[in-house]
Amino acid sequence: MIYLDNASTTKIRSEVFETMKPWLTEKYGNPSSVHSLGEEAAEAVERSREIIAKKINAKASEIIFTSCATESNNIVINGANGAGRKLFISPIEHASVNNPAKRLKARFLKADTEGFVDTEIEKNSFLSVIYANNEIGTIQDVEKISDICSDKNVWFHSDAAQANGKVMIRAGLFDFLSLSAHKIHGPKGIGALYVKEGIKLEPLMMGGGQQKGLRPGTENVASIVGFAKAFELMDEEYCEKVSELRDRLIKKVLEIPGAALTGPVDKKKRLCNIASFAFDVDGEKLVKLLDSRGICASTGSACSEGNVEVSHVLKAIGLREKLARGSLRLSPGIFNTKQEIDEAVEAIHEAVESLRIV
Ligand code: PLP
């Protein structure tokens, strides 16, 4: 199998798994318990909070653990709405921002053809812009957006589920950040939320007093420890290696007749592990055909009840519908080799040609 779907999820690193194990077996205390087994678990949670905070240049007290980035996004969107802020949302958000924002009648902004978002926002409002897009890899100019938000007293949230660990994050630029572990070789079902000191949000769930009441519920100690370990292991070398594979993919796939690149042309503005394309063939069929050849990839189009739904991200960047139906996302990772990339490109070429004939 050639796994080129690391933007969907990643294989857990063995070091991460080993770090988690004791917290699933003999060290099973509840961090809220006052006995030593509980205290030991609470200390592990706090150490992990510090590691994650340091990685994004935040204070440990500004990090809340959640069950996933989806939950972090929902806490922020609903919380900002509850605080009376008008919601402004980029048009290329992940469903976990897009859907709660739609329900709360948010105002959607525009994006250019590479996915860079415009920031026509009102004073004293709330803005959510995805740090690095999961379909086309666009890394936003968050410093510029942060300046605009500061000038207008706007709360700035960024969904950094794809960016965390791959981009140097300065939490001070934001009011809220959503993070996820399973995109960086950590466990699934654990996320975090950065909330700038001094900002108070209403919780989504009511319960005990854990994590200042903003996210009640017994902490998932093993996964929290695994998240911190996975984050710790992300370094510059990761992006150096993976971006080489990404660039090899981009160069070779674009040699296939009819292939178009989606997202930024400037590689510095594209996430290190996302190569995204569009073809004039059905994306879902393409992904299934590749799967039959042992290659795991993704498409932005999804078939529901016989209709192919075109990704809202590809629509927002103005991609023609025919091409948007044929999107292909390849996201390499550290366990891939150059040879795998070459084999995958060959298979993609053949698959695209065969789908054109049908
Ligand atoms: N935000 C982005 C940009 C993502 O790519 C994803 C995962 O696909 C999520 C949020 C959701 O993350 P989680 O699976 O941790 O809920």
Please tell me the distance between residue 33's alpha carbon and the centre of ligand 1 in angstroms.
32
Half-sphere exposure of 318 (CA within 13 A, CB side): 8
What is the residue with the minimal CA distance to atom 4 of ligand 1? 161
State the pLDDT at residue 306: 60
**Which range has the worst mean pLDDT, 204-213, 328-337, 343-352?**
204-213
> Cβ contacts of residue 311 below 8 Å, gap of 6+?
135, 300, 301, 324, 327
Question: Tell me, what DSSP letter sits at residue 13?
Answer: P
Catalytic residue among 149, 239, 296, 303: 303
State the pLDDT at residue 269: 98
CA 16 – CA 185 distance, rounded (Å): 8
**pLDDT single digits (tens) 75-108:** 999 999 999 999 999 999 999 999 999 999 999 9
Among 183, 204, 298, 331, which is best to mutate for testing ligand 1, by the most ligand atoms less than 8 A from CB?
Answer: 183
Please tell me the distance between residue 161's alpha carbon and the centre of ligand 1 in angstroms.
5
**pLDDT single digits (tens) 180-211:** 999 999 999 999 999 999 999 999 999 999 99
Residue 303 bears catalytic tag: yes
* Tokens found for residue 89: 């949302």
In which residue are the tokens 């989806």 written? 70
SS3 81: helix
The confidence band for 309, taking pLDDT boundaries of 50, 70 and 90, is confident
Please tell me the distance between residue 269's alpha carbon and the centre of ligand 1 in angstroms.
20
In which residue are the tokens 């992006």 written? 239
In which residue are the tokens 């995805």 written? 130
Query: Amino acid identity of 132?
Result: A
CA 269 – CA 298 distance, rounded (Å): 21
State the pLDDT at residue 242: 98
State the pLDDT at residue 358: 65
The confidence band for 215, taking pLDDT boundaries of 50, 70 and 90, is very high
286 close to 356: Cβ distance less than 8 angstroms: no
3-state helix, strand, coil split of the chain in percent (to 5) is 40, 15, 45
What average pLDDT does the segment 284-289 reach? 96
Sign (positive or negative) of CA dihedral 43, 49, 50, 51: positive
What average pLDDT does the segment 119-124 reach? 97
CA 324 – CA 120 distance, rounded (Å): 26
State the pLDDT at residue 303: 61
**pLDDT single digits (tens) 1-40:** 999 999 999 999 999 999 999 999 999 999 999 999 999 9
Residues pairing with 307 in the sheet: 304
Residue 198 region, left (φ>0) first, then alpha (ψ -120 to 50), else beta? left
What average pLDDT does the segment 244-261 reach? 98
The confidence band for 300, taking pLDDT boundaries of 50, 70 and 90, is confident
Please tell me the distance between residue 6's alpha carbon and the centre of ligand 1 in angstroms.
12
Closest CA to 41 of 26, 61, 62, 60: 26
- Asked whether the predicted pLDDT for residue 219 surpasses 80, the reply is yes
**pLDDT single digits (tens) 36-81:** 999 999 999 999 999 999 999 999 999 999 999 999 999 999 999 9
- In this structure, how many other beta carbons lie within 10 angstroms of the beta carbon of residue 302? 12
pTM of structure: 0.97
Closest CA to 48 of 216, 221, 182: 221
Mean pLDDT (the chain, rounded): 96
> Which atom of ligand 1 has the smallest separation from the CA of 72?
16
Residues pairing with 64 in the sheet: 193
The confidence band for 160, taking pLDDT boundaries of 50, 70 and 90, is very high
- Asked whether the predicted pLDDT for residue 128 surpasses 70, the reply is yes
What average pLDDT does the segment 132-136 reach? 98
